[in-house]
């Protein structure tokens, strides 16, 4: 049995490894000249940056976390999270509701007063159940925290109005704080939120790509890079996958590439399925990498809700994740700018983007232009799934069609879900477990 896996990102490579370990023949078809997808990294002038945005290794899923840590083995640096929100010039502890004491007193009052009043109203049944993400934010956190941080930050990262987003996905992703924690945080007693991420790992050498390289090692000879899948046909029990110049035959197919790339490869897709796929929303990402002489604030990463400061929604400090991520005496910052097609960021040149980010770093007091020793820009067309209000209807149409066509979907943009590395590895584990189960 030969399996063709479309896409050589973390999902495709994990599937390939697991099938290979089960004694099966696999071929991974990857469009880019290098495998790894969003989990690629580059080292230039001694600075290592992740190309698909800053990545860290963490999970609530102990089996998957153990797998990831086993893969990087001795190439691991363990770190304690020290994350901040840049709010009106202050470094506020993350999550925001655990950092209320860091706010200016007036804002602290607005947040705690709004939280308590809202909680009483919710408990008395006076607040209607939320219908969208914006209403959910206010329902859980109250209007103060919503207006000061949650709404501005979420609109900055999603590039989508929160009232036009669904909230079915938030449980477990956006921390729901215990009331005691909010009160403690407002009066200045230390609390921790989002604790499963409080300690995280990162490869000492090679950036996050070291993880996919370690996973891919036993299957490297089975990876075809530079193979952009443009056609997928089934004839009886054989799949034929083409790139316009050659075809590859396989007994089975697994798709890990974005649905928006898969559907045009198929023949006879009904118009309503094409339309549902077209209506799925995601955003793209620009990473601006900055190498700096000297030190930077001792922060792991920082959220920037303020639109006035610039386009960047988050900055990370890779040189704090790994002692080898920057040359001796240097540090690094990775700025992330999400965008939708047609947004101003999508039309900006690399030089303009670097100027946008370095200007912001200077205004934030993080680093002055004279300390910058290198910069680079990376672009990712598929970064985040955006759960708009029509998402559940549209994704069901597309998934039903792919299932009826016999094409399993595994991975972030194949399942079209907000899955982190642990989530896509879990999907790969579960897919293989189901397959093995069905054979027994
Ligand atoms: C900004 C950002 C930060 C993140 N941070 C974290 C983090 O800290 N921790 C964490 O656990 N997760 C993080 N993630 C999530 C993580 O990157 C993903 O879960 C994971 O990389 C998804 O892997 P994948 O293989 O499903 O998709 P991808 O990495 O997108 O791989 C898909 C592959 O398919 C290929 N492809 C596409 N079209 C074709 C075609 N027609 N033919 C052949 N190949 C094709 C692509 O080139 C790509 O290599 C982050 C993601 C983003 C965007």
What is the structure's pLDDT at 195? Answer: 83
User: Which atom of ligand 1 is nearest the CA belonging to 230?
Assistant: 41
Asked whether 9 lines ligand 1 (CB < 6 A), one says yes
128 with 252, same domain? no
State whether 143 and 12 are in the same domain: no
Predicted confidence at residue 259, as pLDDT, reads 98
Q: How many Å apart are CA 427 and CA 433, to the nearest integer?
A: 10
Q: Is 382 in the pocket of ligand 1 (CB under 6 A)?
A: yes
Q: How far apart are the CA of 316 and the centre of ligand 1, in A?
A: 18
Any domain includes 59 = no
Q: Could you tell which of 4, 5, 9 is best to mutate to test the pocket of ligand 1, judged by most ligand atoms within 8 Å of the CB?
A: 9
In a domain, 324, yes or no: no
pLDDT tens per residue, range 327-382: 999 999 999 999 998 999 999 999 999 999 999 999 999 999 999 999 999 999 99
Report pLDDT digits (tens) over 148-195: 999 999 999 999 999 999 999 987 677 678 899 999 999 999 888 778
Q: Is residue 420 part of a domain?
A: yes
Based on its alpha-carbon atoms, the radius of gyration of the chain, rounded to whole angstroms, reads: 23
Residue 247 lies in a domain: yes
Check pocket membership of 412 for ligand 1, CB cut-off 6 A: yes
Does ligand 1 lie within 6 Å of residue 48's CB atom? no
CA angle 109, 113, 114 (to 5 degrees): 115
Domain end among 160, 193, 226:
193
- Residue minimizing CA distance to atom 4 of ligand 1: 55
| 55 falls within a domain | no
Pocket test for ligand 1, best of 15, 37, 317 (most atoms within 8 A of CB): 37
Q: What is the pLDDT of residue 177?
A: 81
Does the Cβ of 203 fall within 6 Å of ligand 1?
Answer: no
Q: Determine the distance separating the centroid of ligand 1 and the alpha carbon of 395, expressed in angstroms.
A: 19
Distance of CA 7 from the midpoint of ligand 1 (Å): 9
Report the pLDDT value the prediction gives residue 437, as an integer from 0 to 100. 64
| CA distance linking residue 171 with residue 258, whole number of Å | 24
Q: Please indicate, yes or no, whether residues 220 and 177 belong to a single structural domain of this protein.
A: no
- d(CA 117, CA 107) in angstroms, rounded, equals 15
SS3 of the chain: the string is CEEEEECCEHHHHHHHHHHHHCCCEEEEECCCCCCEHHHCEEEECCEEEECCCCCCECCCCHHHHHHHHHHHCCCEEEEECCCEEEECCEEEECCHHHCHHHCCHHHHHHHHHHHHHHHHHHHCCCCCCCCCHHHHHHHHHHHHHHHHHHHHHHHHHHCCCHHHECCCCCCCCCCCCCHHHHHHHHHCCCCCCCHHHCEEEEECCCCCHHHHHHHHHHHHHHEECCCCCCEEEEECCEEEEECCCCEEEECEEEECCCHHHHHHHCCCCCHHHHHHHHCCEEEEEEEEEEEEECCCCCCCEEECCCHHHCCCCEEECHHHHCCCCCCCCEEEEEEEEEECCCCHHHHCCHHHHHHHHHHHHHHCCCCCHHHEEEEEEEEEEEEEEECECCHHHHHHHHHHHHHHCCCCECCCCCCCCCCCHHHHHHHHHHHHHHHHHHHC
Write down the pLDDT at residue 175: 67
Q: How many residues does the chain have?
A: 440
| Ligand 1 centroid distance, CA of 433 (Å) | 22
User: Among the atoms of ligand 1, which is closest to the Cα of residue 338?
Assistant: 1
Residues 115 and 261 in one domain: no
Number of domains in the chain: 2
Specify whether 111 is located in the same domain as 188: yes
Distances (CA, A) of 393 to 273, 276, 338, 340, 414: 11, 8, 25, 21, 16
Full residue range of the structural domain in which residue 139 is found: 95-193
Residue 62 lies in a domain: no
Q: Would residue 315 count as lying in a domain?
A: no
User: Do 274 and 393 have their domain in common?
Assistant: yes
Residue ranges of the chain whose pLDDT lies below 70: 172, 175, 437-440
User: How many Å apart are CA 315 and CA 303, to the nearest integer?
Assistant: 7
In a domain, 434, yes or no: yes
């Amino acid at each position: 049995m030969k399996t063709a896996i479309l896409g050589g990102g973390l999902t495709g490579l994990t599937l390939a490894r697991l099938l290979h370990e089960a004694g099966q023949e696999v071929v991974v078809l990857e469009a880019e000249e290098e495998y790894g997808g969003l989990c690629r990294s580059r080292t230039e002038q001694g600075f290592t940056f992740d190309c698909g945005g800053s990545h860290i290794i963490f999970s609530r899923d102990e089996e998957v976390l153990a797998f990831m840590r086993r893969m990087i083995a001795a190439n691991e640096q363990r770190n304690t999270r020290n994350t901040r929100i840049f709010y009106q010039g202050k470094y506020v502890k993350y999550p925001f509701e655990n950092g209320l004491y860091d706010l200016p007193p007036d804002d602290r009052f607005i947040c705690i007063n709004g939280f308590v009043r809202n909680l009483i109203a919710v408990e008395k049944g006076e607040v209607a159940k939320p219908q969208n993400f914006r209403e959910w934010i206010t329902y859980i956190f109250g209007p103060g925290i919503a207006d000061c941080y949650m709404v501005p930050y979420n609109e900055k990262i999603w590039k989508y109005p929160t009232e036009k987003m669904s909230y079915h996905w938030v449980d477990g992703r956006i921390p729901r704080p215990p009331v005691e924690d909010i009160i403690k945080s407002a009066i200045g007693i230390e609390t921790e939120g989002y604790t499963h991420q409080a300690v995280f790992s990162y490869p000492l050498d090679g950036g996050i790509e070291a993880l996919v390289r370690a996973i891919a090692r036993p299957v490297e000879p089975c990876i075809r890079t530079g193979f952009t899948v443009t056609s997928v046909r089934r004839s009886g029990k054989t799949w034929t996958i083409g790139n316009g110049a050659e075809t590859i035959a396989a007994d089975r197919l697994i798709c890990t590439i974005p649905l928006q790339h898969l559907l045009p490869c198929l023949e006879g897709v009904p118009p309503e399925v094409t339309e549902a796929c077209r209506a799925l929303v995601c955003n793209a990402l620009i990473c601006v990498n900055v190498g700096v002489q000297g030190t930077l604030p001792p922060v792991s990463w920082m959220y920037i809700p303020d639109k006035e400061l610039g386009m960047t929604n988050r900055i990370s400090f890779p040189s704090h994740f790994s002692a080898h991520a920057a040359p001796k005496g240097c540090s690094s910052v990775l700025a992330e700018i999400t965008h939708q097609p047609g947004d101003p960021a999508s039309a900006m040149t690399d030089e303009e983007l670097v100027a946008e980010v370095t200007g912001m770093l200077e205004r934030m007091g993080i680093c002055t232009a004279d300390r910058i020793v290198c910069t680079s820009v990376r672009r990712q067309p598929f970064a985040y799934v955006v759960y708009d209000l029509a998402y559940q209807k549209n994704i069901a149409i597309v998934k039903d069609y792919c299932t009826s066509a016999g094409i399993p979907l595994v991975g972030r943009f194949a399942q079209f879900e907000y899955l982190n590395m642990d989530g896509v590895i879990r999907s790969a584990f579960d897919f293989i477990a189901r397959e093995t189960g069905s054979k027994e």
